[in-house]
Amino acid sequence: MLTRSLRHIIKSRCFHTTPVNTTFWVKSKKQGYEGPRKLLTTKMILDGLKDLKEEIKIWKEEMQEKLESDPILVYRPNEIDVYCRFTSPEVIDNWIVTSDSDHNEGHSKCTFKTSAAGYGLWSGVVTSLLPQDGRIKKAGYCSIRSQRHTKSFRRNTYFDWSAYNTLVLRVRGDGRPYMINIGSEGTFDITWNDIYHFVLYTRGGPHWQITKIPFSKFMLASNGVVQDKQYPIPLNKITSFGLSVSGRGGFDGPFSLEIDYIGLEFDPSNSEEFAYEMYKQEKYIVAT
């Protein structure tokens, strides 16, 4: 049961979703290897000065939250804190919507908009039909993803979910499975594509479902490949949350997923640290 409004929860728990803006200088993620960067123009500098007032306001809120101490440190069993509620077009517009057709790598298409009931509706058509270019060997996906968490003055930072152990979603699906993707992008490029996955099974039909998934069940993958060495999610370094759907395996066709909210919960009955093996293999194995 939700005991706090979304606005109060976001303010008290630092769940800021400041949109990315290019009017401030941003450090190159690839240290300039991606090619020459466009220099700031006079107009961009003036626009940046206009945004300065809003950024200072966000910075003041951050300082106030820090001085008041964050109530997220207090465990409140079985209370759901809302990470994102899709009841306004402004929240939905901040999410990144992609499909293989956006990169000329397939024919799938999707949209993310407000449904007739006032919730987030992610829908479209996913198909594994390959483009006739002789280059693409696999196709058929659509996805939505939150933007990178930023603080004031466009500083990249992380979500800290270490006080929780369970992910909670209230959705209304079409009966097909979806993939939940939790990003934990590290500092070095070898970890930029580290994403933790777990399947979201939907019932279909007119009724809503509340799905609770322990974070211990998520599997580590990189570039879509499940890794041999598994590690628990670093819950203090979450960079993104997303959902994806694939047409492979006989799942071609239209899809529709209506989302009310994505929440976090501490379940005291769940004491599992990690669901998968983390043993260390010996470097040298000698057969006798």
Domain edges within the chain: 6-265
Q: For residue range 215-255, what is the model confidence (pLDDT) as tens digits?
A: 999 999 988 888 888 989 999 999 999 999 998 877 899 99
Structure confidence at residue 30 (pLDDT): 58
- 161, 29 contact by CB (below 8 A): no
Q: Which residues of the chain have pLDDT under 50?
A: 1-23
Structure confidence at residue 170 (pLDDT): 96
Specify the CATH number of the domain 6-265: 2.60.120.430
This prediction's pTM: 0.76
Structure confidence at residue 13 (pLDDT): 44
